[in-house]
Structure 1
Amino acid sequence: MTDTAPRLVLIDGSSYLYRAFHALPPLSNDDGEPTGALFGVVNMLRATLKENPGYVAFVVDAPGPTFRDDLYPDYKANRPPMPDELRAQVEPMMKIVGALGIPILRVPGVEADDVIGTLAVQAAGDGVDVTISTSDKDFAQLVRPDGSGAGIALINTMTGSRLDSEQAVIDKFGVRPDQIVDYLALMGDTVDNVPGVTKCGPKTAAKWLGEYGSLDGVIEHAGEIKGKIGDNLRQALERLPLNRTLVTIRTDVKLESAPSDLVLRAADTDALRALYTRYGFRQALKELGGGAAANEAQARAEAAGMRNTAAGYAKAAATADDADPALSAVGEYECVTARAQLDAWLERLQAADEFAFDCETDSLDPMRANLVGLSFAVEPGRACYLPLAHDYPGAPQQLDRADVLAALRPVMTDAGKRKLGQHGKYDLHVLRRHGIDVQGYADDTMLESFVYNATATRHDMDSLARRYLGYETVKYSDVAGKGAKAILFSQVALDDATRYAAEDADVTLRLHRVLQPKLAAEPTLEKVYREIEMPLVKVLERIEANGVKVDANELRRQSADLGKRMLAAQQKATELAGRTFNLDSPKQLGALLFDELKLPALVKTPKGQPSTNEEALEAIADQHELPRVILEYRGLAKLRSTYTDKLPEMVNPDTGRVHTSYHQAGAATGRLASSEPNLQNIPIRTDDGRRIRTAFVAPEGRKIVACDYSQIELRIMAHLSGDESLVKAFESGADIHRATAAEVFGKPIDEVSGNERRAAKAINFGLMYGMGAFGLARQLGVARGEAQDYIALYFSRYPGVRDFMERTRQQARDQGYVETVFGRRLYLEHIAARNAGLRAGAERAAINAPMQGTAADIIKRAMVDIDGWLQAHADRALMVLQVHDELVFEVEEDFVQTLIGEVSGRMARAAELRVPLIVDSGIGDNWEEAH
C-alpha cells in the first residue's frame, strides 16, 4: 500500500463482534450488563482509527434473506441463534460506532461480504488503497497487489496479521487469490453450511488446484484422482458449481453509497463519554479527556482495577484498559535504580499476600543465561523493573547485582510467600544458578491456562493476554529487534526495558486473577493443576538441572560410521541413476525420478509439483531400488545431524552434561515433550537408533537404571472399559497379546502362533489409536475384509471395549470433551463438525486421549512422589530423564536395588486401577544396556 494514495478501511462488523465475543471472557460492567464482545470491538476500532484512515465504513448484515438463500435454502441453516449475551451488545456497539463518526452500512437483501467486496473493488479501481479489516478467510479472494497504486489488503486487527500480496495469500493458503473461490468450493464451509468434498481439507484442495489450475480443471480430471478421496470428489461434482457461486464474494452490488461518501466524521465526544462511562472503558475515557464525569468514571474504574482480590479483578478486567496498545496507560511501572527504591519494593513484596516475578536474561538456555534484570508486580497495574546488567554505552548506574540478590533472597526463599510466574520453570533455573533457590512458587499462568483448556489458545504470555485480557502486550522484538539486527536485552535502553519487563510481571498477575477463578469453578481441573502440574514444576527443574552424562567420543565414532554408510548409499544411488546428482536436492531428485526414470508421481506438493518427501518415496519404493536407497541415506543423515553430530555440541561446559528442557504445556493430552535436545524422539526400532542410547552413560561408580511401565495404555483401556475378559487377562499376568489372540482366534493360549500374536498386538494398539480395517489391513499385509473380520471378532470377545468406545464418543459429542481418570479435560474442536473427515478424526482422538492422558497423569504423579523420596538421597541417586512411560536414573552401584524397589513400588502405586500397574526395570553402564 502506498503512502500517498487515499485510503479506505472497510470493517467487517460481524467478524469483529463474533471474534471478540469468543476471544474474551464473559465480562460485565458494574450493572451486570455483558461487555466482553463490546470491549473487544471498541479496542479494535480504536486501533483502526489510530491509523487515520480518510475513508471508513462499518459493514454489518441486514436481517432477512439474500440471493444465496434463494439459490440454496440450507445456506447457513446450521447456524445457532445469536446468544442472548451477545445480542445485548449489538445495540451499544452500533451506538459507539456511530458516535465515533464511522459510517455504518447495512443493506437489505445483501450480505455484508458483498457490500465490502463491491466497495473494495470500486475504490481500488478509483485509485484508492483499500484495507478490509476482518478475520474471514473468504476475503482472501479479493487481495490484489498495489503495483498500480491501489491494492486491496486484509488486516486481522485482533492478531495483527496482514495479507497484502499474491505471495502472502500463497504462503498462508497454498493458492493464489484468484484460486481462493475454487479452494473454498472444494473444502466447503461448515460455518455457512456449504458442504464440500468429503475429507478434502486445505492441503488436498491446494494440491488439486496446483495440479489442475482451477475448479473446472479439477472437475475435468476428476476421473484421474484415485482412492477414496477421488470417489468423494466424483460424488460431489454436481454441487461444486453451486458451491463456487455461494462462496464467491460479489463485487457488482448496486449500492446507494459510493466509496467517496464514506468520510470519517467528527466523533460525538459527549455521546462517547456517556457510553464509555456506562460500560466502564477506562482507557477509552482517558483518551477522550476532560469533564468531571469522565474523571469520576475513570476513578471508579481504577479503583475497581486495583482491588487485590480475584473476584474483584475478574470484574475489573471488563473495564480495564488491558487491550490498549499504549503501554504507558496500563499501569504504574517503576525502574528501580536506587537503594531507597529497592527497599520500598522489598517492603511491598513482604506485605503482599502474593506477587508475580519474571527474569530478563541474555539467553534462552536457562542453564547458561546470565541475569540482566528482575521484575515484580504486587497488584494489577503496579510493577517494577530492577535492571542489574544493562551495559550499553551511556547506560545509567544500576544497583549491584550481588547486593540486590542478597536483599531479595529472604523473600524469594520464604515458602510461605506465594510467588506467581508465567513459564516460571525457566526463572527458577536462572535464579537457582544465581544463588536463590526459590520457594513458595505457587501458581503458573501458563499451566493455569493449559489445564483450564489446553486447546483454546497457545499458552505463551502474548496469546494469553490477548485471549483472557483483550490486551496486546509489548513484544520482545519491539524492544530488542529481530533477525540480524536483534540485540541482547542487556543492550536495551532502560525505559524500553522497564516498559517490557514490568509489563510481563503485571500481565502475569492480571492473568492469574482471571484464570484462577475459572479453575476454582471446576474442582476436578483445579485438582489436576494443584496436585499434578504445579508440583511437577520443581521436579522437572531438578531433572533438567541434573542433566545426563554423554560420551562424546562414542557419538563421534557413531558419526564417522554413519558418514561412511551415507557415502556408500550415495555411491549406490549414483550407480542406480547412471550419473551423479545431489541426493539432498529435491529438485534434482525429482527430475531424476519422474522425468528420466519415468516413475509415477503419486504424491504432490501443495503447488501441484511431484513430491520427493518420505511418503512419496515410500509410495514408489516397490517400483525401483533408488527410492529405497534415498530413504536409507536420509535416515542415516537425520540420525547424524540430529543426534551424533549435535549432542556433543550441546554438552554444557560448566557441568559436562546435556540438559534437555521439558514442556508441560505442549501436547493437549498432558504428555511431556522435550527440546534442546529432543530426547523423546530418539528412534528405538532400529539398531542405529538404539545405538545412540549407548552414549548416555553413568559416571564411574554409578549405574543407569531405567524403570518403564509395561503396556500402561492397554491397562488403562482395561480399567476404563471394565471388560471382564481384558481385566482377567491382566490380573492373571498373561501375555496380553497372546491372550487376545487366543480370544479372537478361539484357541488355547499355548497354541497361538507368532503371526496370530502379531495380529492381536496390532489390533490391541490399533484400536486405541482409532485404526480402522484399512489401516489394520495395511499393517498386517492382509485383505481389508480379513482385517474387518479380525476387528469384529475382537469386539465380540471384548464387548466392554466396544461399549466403552461408543460411550466415549457420545460423551465427546454431548460435552465437547473427554476426561482422564484424574479429571483432566481434553477438548475436541471438531467433534460436531459437518465435515466427516474432521469429525472422524475427533472421534478417534476421543478414544485415545483418555488413555494417553491418563498415562501422562500417572507418570507425572509418580515423578512427584519419587522426587519427594529422592530429596533425602540426592547424593546417591538422580532422576535424569523422562521419556514417555519411562524414568531413567543415575545411581550409586550399592544403592541400585534400594532405588529399584522404591521407584517400582511408587510407580505401581501412582494410580488405583482395576488391573495392576507393572513396572519393568533394567540396569546398565549406559541407557541402552538398562533396557
Structure 2
Amino acid sequence: MTRLVLIDGSSYLYRAFHALPPLSNAAGEPTGALFGVVNMLRATLKERPDYVAFVVDAPGKTFRDDLYPEYKANRPPMPDELRAQVQPMCEIVHALGIDILRVEGVEADDVIGTLAVQAAAAGMEVTISTGDKDFAQLVRANGAAAGSIVLVNTMTGSRMDSDAAVEEKFGVPPQRIVDLLALMGDTIDNVIGVEKCGPKTAAKWLGEYGSLDGVIAQAGSIKGKVGDNLRTALPRLPLNRELVTIKTDVALEYGPDALRLREPHVDELRALYARYGFNQALKELEAGAVAAEGGSGGPVLAVAEKEPGRSRGSGFVAAMAEAPAAGLDPALAAPGEYEAIFDAERLQAWIARLRAAGEFAFDTETDSLDPMRASLVGLSFAAEPGVAAYVPLAHDYPGAPPQLDRAQALDLLRPLLADPAVRKLGQHGKYDLHVMRRHGVELAGYADDTLLESFVLNSGSARHDMDSLARRWLGYETLKYQDVAGKGAKQIPFTQVGVDEATRYAAEDADITLRLHRVLAPQLAAEPALEAVYRDIEMPLVPVLARIEANGVKVDVEELRRQSADLSRRMLAAQQKATELAGRAFNLDSPKQLCALLFEELKLPALVKTPKGQPSTNEEALEAIADQHELPRVILEYRGLAKLRSTYTDKLPEMVNPDTGRVHTSYHQAGAATGRLSSSDPNLQNIPIRTDDGRRIRRAFVAPPGRKLVACDYSQIELRIMAHLSQDPGLVRAFESGADIHKATAAEVFGRRLEEVTGNERRAAKAINFGLMYGMSAFGLAKQLGIGRGEAQDYIALYFSRYPGVRDYMERTREQARGQGYVETVFGRRLYLEYIRAGNQAQRAGAERAAINAPMQGTAADIIKRAMIAVDGWLAGHRDQALMILQVHDELVFEAEEGFVPTLVEEVGRRMGSAAQLSVPLVVESGIGDNWDEAH
C-alpha cells in the first residue's frame, strides 16, 4: 500500500531543541535543534515512504486567533538560538527532497489533518510524525475501502494505530479526543479548561455521559468542587471544542499525490552537513552515494529490528545519538542478546568473561526503591555492547524455574565485585552499592557512572535517567519497569515477574549502561576540564555519599511527637484567629475559598495571578498583600506550621529504619545544575534555620549516649569566592584581615571607621553583599531594606565605587557567557545558559543573573565535595570513633565519641580549609552539642 508521512515540523524543531544540549559547530553557530531534526528526518527516510511533507506554521494569525484573541497568548517568543536554526533546517529538508508546506490562516495541524484524511480516503497508509497529543483525534485503522492514519512519536518510538491504542493512552477513543481536550484545556495554547479537571476526570465524565454535549447536559448532577468548576466553565466549553478541533477541510492547492519524495540534492547536503559538523550523516551520505554508483542502494545504518511484540529503537535509530564531533558505532543501537543464568557453572563462565574484559556494567534488581531496606532479587552484567546476562535469585511466583541460591551466587561473585582492579560501571550506582553492602559484598572498583557522565557534560539537561539517556544518545527505546511489572494498583513486585521478562528488562539495563558509557566517555575525554570534575570530584564522591547515607542520623521520636502536638495547637489557634478576622468559618486549605474571601469579600487587590489569569493565593501573593490586612499573615503562619508538621515532625518518626533505628536520607549529585547536592526521603536541606521552629526540629537530631554531634560550616564561602573571582583589592583585603565582612563593607560604602558602623548600616551592607551575588536589583534591595528605590540605587552605586573589581567581574562574566554560552566554576564545571542570547529581555536578564551567581554557587559546591572526599579518606582509620552523617549546604555534620571531638574538629577544619586554594582564606566554624541545633 502507498505510504504518506506527514511530519509536524514545528514539533520536531522544538522537541529537538529541548532534548539536546546547546551544541554548536566550529564557527559557533547553534546546531542542537538542527542536529536533532536532521537525525529524526534520516530515521524517517530509512522507512522509505512514497510521499512525504514537512509541515510548519505560516507566520501571522489564524482563524483561531479570530475566534479567541487570547489563543496562545502565553507562549514565549522563539529563543534566538532556535530561530537561528530555522533557515538551515529548511535548507536541509529541501535538500533531502522533502516538500515544506505552509498555509496562511491555519496552523500546521490543520494542513496535516486535511492531507491525512484525504490520503486515507484514497487508500493510503498515513503516518503523522509528531509528539502532539491533539493528533490522536485523527487516528484510524485500515477500513474496508480506506487507508489508515497512524501517529508515530519519532523521539520515543511510540505508536498509536487504532482506537484501542488511543483509548489505552487517553482513556477515550479517537472520536472523543476533542471532547477530552475541551474539558482539560491546554495550557500551552491558553485554552482554559475546567479547573482541576485532568485527563482521568475528563475521561471518566465522557465514559459516563458519552460526549461533551452529554457532560454539559448533566453538569448539574456532578457533585463536589469539580462539579462547581465544570458549571463555571460551561460557557467556554463550546469554544474550547472549536479551538482544539483539527480542521480536515482546508482548501489546499495540492493533494497528497503531489508530495512524492524526490531524489536528494547530494551536493547541497554534503555542504550543509559539513558546515554544521554532522559527521555521521556525512559519512552515511558518502557511503550511500558510493553504493548507488556501484548499483546497490540501501541505508548504511539500518533501523533496529523489532522483537516480537516490542519495538526496539524503531524510528529514531542510532543517528539521534550521534555526537556532532564523532560518529556512532551502529552496534550501540542494535538489539541485544541476553541470557538468564541458572547454574553455578554458567555463572563462573560469565565471571571469567567479566574479569577478562577488565571492565563491565552491572545492575541490581530488588523489591524496594529504598536501598536501605531493599532485598536482592537478581543481578545483571554486560561486558560488551549487546551481550548481557541476568542472574535471577529470588523470583518466587508459582512455576518459577529453579534459581541459584543467593548466598552461593554472592560467594562466587564476591572476589570479582571486591576486586578494585576490575572496573565496574553503573547508572546511579550508589543505589547498587547500598544493596550489595547490605548483602555482605563491599563492591570496589566502581569507576564510572553514566548518570554522572551525562550530568557533568551538561548539568542543565532536563533528565539524566537511563531511559532518557538511551533515547537521547542511542536512539534506543528501553523496556520500562511497568512493561514487565504493570502499573498502579495492578503492579506486582519484581519477585513475581517472570524470569524471561525479568531477563530482558534487567540485562538490558546493564547493556544500555555499557553502551551509554561508550558514547559519553569520549565526549568527556575531549573536554579535559570537565573530565577532571568527573574524575576528581563526582566519581570519588559516590562511595562517600553511600557511607554517609548508610551511617544515618539518630532522631528523638518523642521530641518530634511533642513538637507535632505543639504545632497542631498553634495551627488550631491560627485557624481560630483567621475565623475571627474573616467574620466567618472557612477552609484555610482551600484556594477557592481563600480567593472568594480575600478578593471578593474583603476586596483585597489580586497582585499575583496564576498562569490561567486567576488570582493566586500562593505565598508570594499573600506576602504581597500582608501589609493591607492581618488575615494573609495569619494564613501564611498557618501554612508554615502545617508544612513543618507534615514534612518533618509527623513524617520523620515514620522514616526511622527499623533495622538501624536511624533516619537515612538520600543525596543526589545530579539534583541541581550548579552541582550542589540535594537530598530526599527526607529532604534535610530545607529545614528552616532562621526560625525558632526550624531550630526546634534540628534539636530532634541527636547524638547517642557517650557521643556528640559536631557541625563544621564554611563561613561566608560564596562571598570569599566572589573575592577570589573578582580579585577586587578591597574585598580581598577585608577577608585577609579577618574583619567582619559586612561591617567592613558598610565602612567602605558609608565612609565610616569600623567601630562607627551602625547595626542598620551593617544590615544594608549584608543585603548588598548577598543580593548582588544573586542579581538583586535596586527594586529588590529597596523592598528588603524598606527604603526608597533611589536610595537603594545609591547604595549599589557606592558599593561598586568602593569595589570596582566586583563590577568588572560581573560585566566580564556576562560578556563571556554571551560569547561561549556557558560559565565555569573555579574547577571547570560548566553551566550552560539557554537564554543568555535570548531576544526576550526577561529571559536574558535571568540568564545573566545565573551567569554571575553560578560560578560562585557551583564553586562552593565543588569545594565542599572535595572536602567531603578528603575528610572521608581521613575518617577511614577512625570509623569506630567518628562518622560523617549529614551534608547540608556549606555544612558537614559528624557524630563522634566525646573524647575524639577535639581531634575531629582540628582535622576536619584543616581538610575543609585546604579543599581549595583561593586568594582569600577559607574559614571553617565548628560547633559541638548533644543535638544538631546545639552544634550549629
Report the TM-score when normalising by structure 2.
0.78
Contact map agreement 1:115 1:251 (CA 8 A) in 2 = no
Query: Residue 472 in 1 paired to residue 459 in 2?
Result: no
Residue 89 of structure 1: CA displacement? Answer: 6.7
Return closer, same or farther for 1:829/1:342 CA change in 2, 3 Å cut-off: same
Bigger drift between 452-461 and 884-893 goes to 452-461
Aligned residue number for residue 239 of structure 1: none
Offset of residue 353 of structure 1: 1.8
> Matched residues in 1 for 2:139 and 2:87: separation?
42
1:120 aligns with 2:113: yes
Residues 363 and 370 in structure 1, CA contact (< 8 A), matched pair in contact too: yes
Give the aligned residue type for 2:665: T
- Whether 1:134 aligns to 2:151 is no
Give the Å deviation of 1:40. 3.6
Report deviation, 1:610: 2.5
- Tell me whether 1:440 sits opposite 2:445 in the alignment: yes
Shift of the alpha carbon at 1:887? 0.2
Aligned to 2:527: 522
> Against the structure 1 CA distance between its residues 876 and 277, is the aligned structure 2 distance closer, same or farther, given a 3 Å change threshold?
farther
Preserved contact between residue 37 and residue 89 of structure 1 (Cα < 8 Å):
no
Measured in 2, the distance between the counterparts of 1:47 and 1:166 equals 34
Alignment partner of 1:281 is 2:301: yes
Helix, strand or coil for the counterpart of 1:658? coil
Paired letter, 2:434: H
Counterpart for residue 497 of structure 1: 502
Question: 2:139, 2:151 within 8 Å by CA — same for their partners in 1?
Answer: no
Call closer, same or farther: CA 1:510–1:806 in 2, change over 3 Å. Answer: same
| Alpha-carbon distance in 2 for matches of 1:84, 1:280 | 27
CA distance in 2, matches of 1:649, 1:376: 35
2:387 is the counterpart of 1:382: yes
Aligned alpha-carbon RMSD (Å)? 4.3
Amino acid in the other structure paired with 1:775: G
Which amino acid in the other structure matches residue 8 of structure 2?
Answer: D
What residue identity is the alignment partner of 1:566? M
> In 2, distance between residues paired with 1:869 and 1:62?
61
**Matches of 1:836 and 1:313 in 2, distance apart?**
31
1:808 aligns with 2:808: no
Aligned to 1:758: 763
1:59 maps to: 53
* Inter-partner Cα distance in structure 2 for 1:315 and 1:480: 37
Q: Partner of 1:258 in structure 2?
A: 255
Please say if residues 603 and 611 of structure 1, whose CA atoms lie closer than 8 Å, have aligned partners that are also in contact: yes
- Answering whether residue 336 of structure 2 is matched by residue 336 of structure 1, we say no
Question: CA 1:614/1:85 → structure 2, altered by over 3 Å: closer, same or farther?
Answer: closer
1:538-572 superposed Cα distances (whole Å, 9 cap, x missing partner): 00000000000000010001011111111111121
Tell me how far apart the structure 2 counterparts of residues 113 and 78 of structure 1 sit (CA, whole Å): 26
CA drift at 1:154: 7.8
Task: Quickly say closer, same or farther: Cα 1:81–1:838, change in 2 above 3 A.
Answer: closer
Q: Are the counterparts in 2 of residues 35 and 279 from structure 1 also a CA contact under 8 Å?
A: no
Partner Cα distance (1:613, 1:125) in 2: 49
Alpha-carbon spacing, 1:120–1:177, altered in 2? closer, same or farther (3 Å): farther
Note if contact 1:62-1:111 (Cα within 8 Å) is conserved in structure 2. no
Aligned to 1:319: 330
Residue pair 1:698, 1:704 contacting (<8 A) in 2 also: yes
User: 1:584 Cα shift?
Assistant: 1.8
Tell me what 1:632 maps to. 637
Q: Indicate yes or no: 2:7 matched with 1:11.
A: yes
Q: Distance in 1 between matches of 2:642 and 2:306?
A: 60
SS at match of 2:827: coil
CA deviation after TM superposition for structure 1 residue 871, in Å? 0.5
Shift in Å, 1:763? 0.2
What letter is aligned with 1:737?
H
Q: Distance in 1 between matches of 2:554 and 2:356?
A: 44
Deviation per residue, 1:50-83 (Å, 9 max, x gap)? xxxxxx95323799x9889xxxxx9999877769
Which of residues 358, 367, 378 in structure 1 aligns to 2:372? 367
Distance 2:472 2:323 in 1: 19
For the structure 1 residues 132 and 835, does the alpha-carbon distance in structure 2 shift closer, same or farther, using more than 3 Å as the test? farther
C-alpha displacement of 1:134: 3.1
| Aligned AA (1:157) | T
Letter in 2 for 1:319: P
8 Å CA contact 1:17, 1:41 repeated in 2? no
Cα distance change of structure 1 residues 396 and 871 upon mapping to structure 2, 3 Å threshold: same
Aligned to 2:907: 902
Closer, same or farther: CA 284–84 of 1 in aligned 2, 3 Å = farther
Match among 150, 157, 174 for residue 187 of structure 2: 174
Q: Would you say 1:742 and 2:766 are equivalent positions?
A: no
Question: Partners of 2:721 and 2:432 in 1: how far apart?
Answer: 36
Contact 2:9 2:56 in 1 (8 A): no
Q: Which amino acid aligns with 2:730?
A: S
2:787 maps to: 782
Give the residue type in structure 1 aligned to 2:41.
V
Cα deviation for residue 688 of structure 1 reads: 0.5
Q: Is the partner of 1:832 in helix, strand or coil? A: coil
Matches within 5 A, 1:77-92: none
d(CA) in 2 for partners of 1:47 and 1:112?
32
Q: How much does 1:603 deviate? A: 2.5
- The 3-state SS of whatever aligns with 1:622 is coil
Give the drift of 1:620.
2.1
Q: 1:90 and 1:891, CA in 2 relative to 1: closer, same or farther beyond 3 A?
A: same
Match of 1:194 in 2: none
Mean CA deviation greater in 248-257 or 804-813:
248-257
Q: Deviations over 1:781-801 (max 9, x none)?
A: 111111111000100000000
Letter aligned with residue 901 of structure 1: E
Contact 2:340 2:389 in 1 (8 A): yes
Mean Cα displacement is larger for which, 854-863 or 579-588?
Answer: 579-588
Q: Pick which of 788-797 and 574-583 moved more.
A: 574-583
Contact 1:314/1:513 (8 A) holds in 2: no
Partners of 2:932 and 2:860 in 1: how far apart?
22
Local SS of the residue matching 1:525:
helix
Q: How big is each residue's C-alpha offset from its partner over 1:198-227, in whole Å with a ceiling of 9 and x where there is no partner?
A: xxxxxxxxxxxx99x99xx9xxxxxxxxxx
Unaligned runs of 5+ in 1: 1-5, 28-33, 50-55, 69-73, 95-103, 181-209, 218-247, 266-270, 288-300, 305-309, 323-328
Unaligned stretches of 5+ in structure 2? Answer: 25-33, 62-76, 160-168, 171-176, 194-231, 240-244, 263-287, 308-316
The 3-state SS of whatever aligns with 2:588 is: coil
Q: Distance in 2 between matches of 1:504 and 1:48?
A: 31
Letter in 1 for 2:386: G
For residue 318 of structure 1, report the CA deviation from its aligned partner: 4.7
Task: Map residues 505-654 of structure 1 onto 2, 5 A cutoff.
Answer: 505-654=510-659
Q: Secondary structure at the match of 2:374?
A: coil
CA distance in 2, matches of 1:904, 1:889: 12
**Alpha-carbon distance in structure 2 between the residues aligned to 1:650 and 1:62:** 52
Check whether the contact 1:10–1:116 (CA below 8 A) recurs between aligned residues.
no
1:61-460 map, 5 Å: 93-94=96-97, 105-106=99-100, 117-121=110-114, 132-134=128-130, 156-159=153-156, 165=178, 173-174=186-187, 254-258=251-255, 279-283=299-303, 317-320=328-331, 322=333, 330-460=335-465
Change over 3 Å in CA distance of 1:600–1:146 after alignment to 2: farther
For 1:315 and 1:729, the matched residues in 2 are separated by 49
Residue 244 of structure 1 corresponds to none
What's the secondary structure of 2:876's corresponding residue? Answer: helix
Deviation, 1:320, is 3.7
Separation in 2, partners of 1:48, 1:22 = 28
Q: Is the 8 A contact 1:552 1:648 kept in 2?
A: yes
Q: What is the identity, as a one-letter code, of the residue corresponding to 2:705?
A: E
Once residues 831 and 170 of structure 1 are traced to their aligned partners in structure 2, the CA distance between those partners, rounded to angstroms, is 37
Q: Rate the CA distance shift 1:893–1:179 in 2: closer, same or farther, 3 A.
A: closer
Residues 179/568 of structure 1: CA separation in 2 closer, same or farther (3 Å cut): closer
Contact 1:40–1:470, Cα closer than 8 Å, also in 2:
no
